[in-house]
Structure 1
Amino acid sequence: MSYPIPTPYEWSTTLDIGNAELNEQHKKLFTLINALDAKRSCGTTLKELLDYVVFHFKTEEDLFAKAGWSESASHKETHDKFVQDALALTSVGDAEMQFIKQWLITHICASDMKYKGVI
């Protein structure tokens, strides 16, 4: 299922997953994605985003383990697949920005909402 990409591209309360730390990290992901969109040719900006994505995923996965969440393995698989796809990027154009923006929205709305109230 696909979710509409918001305009402007920013976090809103409809994306609240019930965990303040993760909500703040999601907000930062929106900020970093917007920075990449503004400076698509800057490899440093892409690296900063990817480094933060890995940090964010580790935070989520640690919380899953602590809570004993039953769907943690499949959720981690989606994390690993995104990191694999993102690390393969050699340039950032319109299609890549669309992919990144859509992925974050869909991931929060379809996957992260599953752990709302669990962690």
Structure 2
Amino acid sequence: MQFALLIYETADDFTRRRGPDAAAYWSSWAAYSGALKAHTTGGACLKSPETGVVLSQTQSGRQVQDGPYAETKEQLGGVILFEADTLDEALAWAERCPAAQHGAVEVRPVQPMSEIAEMQS
């Protein structure tokens, strides 16, 4: 079964990616990524929330809003797609994620595209 780990990080975590704490920040991620590598099917680290934009369609046309958007403590910092046999196994990987120490890690099953095609039939 494929799962997605949605990595939510605090503003301090995004700041730690650069500067004096960067080596410690990235070394914890390197260790975690190395352990998960055999199960990983994809993923990406996202740039800080200020770099994104949100597009929405309104009656007056396309609206584009600069980020960050949500008034929350954490922002989406990355996504990891990986294989696990059970939800409990996926949760065990999420628990080891460095972001779980300060932010949050959402575990969500991935819906295969084949299932989406079946629902449209």
TM-score, normalising length: structure 2: 0.29
Specify which structure has the higher proportion of helix: 1
The structure with the larger Rg is 2
Structure with more of its chain in strand, by fraction: 2
Under a length normalisation based on structure 1, what TM-score does the superposition of the two structures give? 0.30
